[in-house]
């Protein structure tokens, strides 16, 4: 009940900020564009995809047309993923530092709630707000493509959950740094450094980190680090595979679930030790 209240309160807090509205605004523009531009035409030769009434693909059978639409959806979803990382992190990185600010944390912790409940409520509230944004775009896109092109791809809807999951894993790192430093800027920087630098370097270790040394211990540390942290990049590429109907690997999701759980546990332990 109290966690539910904290989730609602955090979603309300984020709704009062402009950042996530920017993401929603961009999503609306893309949806409007898709709604106006996309359509399809069916003839004896097959189905053709139309952009503003002009054919952009040769006539295809139902199966081949479905694959084409799935590729287009993958493009949209990849764009959204970048948007979610950018605006989602900017929008939610301040949630933990704000909650731990003097004058606010006193109000929360003087209530009969434990510190882990506060952290969990704030974390889940942020993830819920981002999920609402993702669902708005993906759900809208699914409806538009279904209504205007006639291709109803349930995998597109499922991608909303995979994207939210990937964001939730990344956000665990932002939360940890938010608790450690109580500083929004540092939490954002940590999130971006991880996704664009550390995460990428670990993901593509064969082409970079492995070349630094051939020492086995060093390589074991690099490999261990890869499995120790959430695999955002691998989850993104597998989500896109899932959307395209290609066999995907679930292991990055399972491993990221465990590692982000551990990171959140570390954040909760750190919060428990703090004096306010």
Partner 1 sequence: MVAIEASSLSKTYSNGISRKRRVEALSGFSLCVESGQIFSLLGPNGAGKTTFIKILLSLTRPTSGSASILNVPLPDDAVKGRVGYLPENHRYPGYFTGPQVLRFFGGLSGVQRPRLEERLSPLLELVGMAQWRDMKVKKYSKGMLQRLGLAQALINDPEVLFLDEPTDGVDPVGRKEIREILRDLKRQGKTIFLNSHLLSEVELISDRVAILDKGKLLRVGTVDELTGAGGSRYLIGISGHLPEEAQTEAQATVIRLETAGETVTAECSTPTELNRVIDLLRRHGVEITSIARQRSTLEDSFLSLIKREVAQ
Which one of 44, 206, 247, 275 is in contact with partner 1 (CB under 8 A)? 275
How many residues line the site for partner 1 (CB under 8 A)?
A: 24
Instruction: Tell me the C-alpha to C-alpha distance, in Å, between residue 173 and each of 117, 162, 273.
Output: 18, 18, 18
Alpha helices in the chain (DSSP H): 2-15, 19-37, 62-83, 89-92, 95-99, 105-109, 115-149, 154-181, 184-193, 199-203, 209-212, 216-228, 232-244, 251-273
Which one of 42, 104, 204, 213 is in contact with partner 1 (CB under 8 A)? 104
Piece in contact with partner 1 (CB under 8 A), picked from 6-14, 53-61, 189-197, 261-269: 6-14
Per CB under 8 A, 71 contacts partner 1: no
Which one of 107, 206, 215, 217 is in contact with partner 1 (CB under 8 A)? 107
C-alpha 32/C-alpha 37 separation (Å) is 8
Please say which residue, 112 or 154, places its beta carbon nearer to partner 1.
Answer: 112
Piece in contact with partner 1 (CB under 8 A), picked from 3-11, 44-52, 84-92, 132-140: 3-11
Find the shortest distance in angstroms from Cβ 89 to partner 1.
Answer: 21
Which are the contacts of 195, defined by CB distance < 8 A and separation ≥ 6? 85, 170, 232, 233
Find the shortest distance in angstroms from Cβ 99 to partner 1.
Answer: 11
Per CB under 8 A, 13 contacts partner 1: yes
Which one of 111, 221, 251, 258 is in contact with partner 1 (CB under 8 A)? 111
Q: What is the DSSP string of 79-109?
A: HHHHHIIIIIHHHHTTHHHHHTSTTTHHHHH
Piece in contact with partner 1 (CB under 8 A), picked from 2-10, 48-56, 200-208, 220-228: 2-10
Q: Is 41 helix (H, G, I), strand (E, B) or coil?
A: strand
Q: Are strands 46-51 and 38-43 parallel, antiparallel or unpaired?
A: antiparallel
Per CB under 8 A, 216 contacts partner 1: no
Per CB under 8 A, 12 contacts partner 1: yes
* Partners of residue 55 on adjacent β-strands: 50
- Cβ pair 20, 133 in contact under 8 A: yes
What is the x/- site pattern for partner 1, positions 84-103, by CB under 8 A?
Answer: -----------------xxx
Per CB under 8 A, 269 contacts partner 1: no
**Sites of contact with partner 1 (CB under 8 A):** 1-2, 5-6, 9, 12-13, 16, 101-114, 275-276
């Amino acid at each position: 009940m109290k966690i539910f209240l904290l989730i609602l309160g955090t979603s309300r807090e984020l709704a009062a900020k402009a950042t996530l509205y920017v993401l929603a605004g961009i999503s609306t523009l893309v949806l409007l564009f898709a709604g106006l531009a996309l359509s399809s035409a069916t003839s004896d030769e097959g189905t053709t995809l139309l952009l503003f009434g002009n054919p952009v693909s040769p006539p295809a059978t139902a199966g081949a047309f479905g694959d084409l639409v799935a590729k287009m959806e993958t493009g949209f979803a990849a764009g959204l993923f970048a948007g979610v990382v950018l605006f989602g992190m900017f929008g939610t990185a301040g949630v933990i530092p704000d909650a731990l600010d003097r004058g606010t944390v006193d109000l929360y912790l003087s209530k009969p709630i434990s510190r882990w409940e506060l952290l969990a409520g704030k974390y889940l509230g942020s993830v819920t707000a981002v999920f609402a944004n993702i669902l708005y775009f993906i759900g809208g896109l699914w409806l538009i493509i279904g209504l205007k092109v006639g291709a109803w791809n349930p995998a597109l809807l499922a991608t909303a959950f995979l994207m939210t999951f990937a964001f939730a894993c990344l956000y665990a790192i932002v939360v940890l740094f938010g608790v450690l430093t109580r500083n929004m800027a540092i939490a954002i920087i940590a999130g971006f450094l991880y996704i664009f630098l550390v995460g990428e370097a670990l993901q593509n270790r064969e082409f970079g980190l492995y070349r630094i040394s051939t020492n086995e211990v060093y390589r074991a540390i690099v490999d261990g680090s890869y499995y120790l942290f959430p695999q955002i990049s691998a989850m993104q590429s597998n989500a896109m595979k899932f959307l395209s109907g290609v066999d995907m690997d679930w292991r990055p999701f399972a491993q990221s679930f465990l590692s982000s759980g551990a990171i959140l546990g570390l954040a909760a332990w750190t919060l428990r030790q703090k004096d306010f």
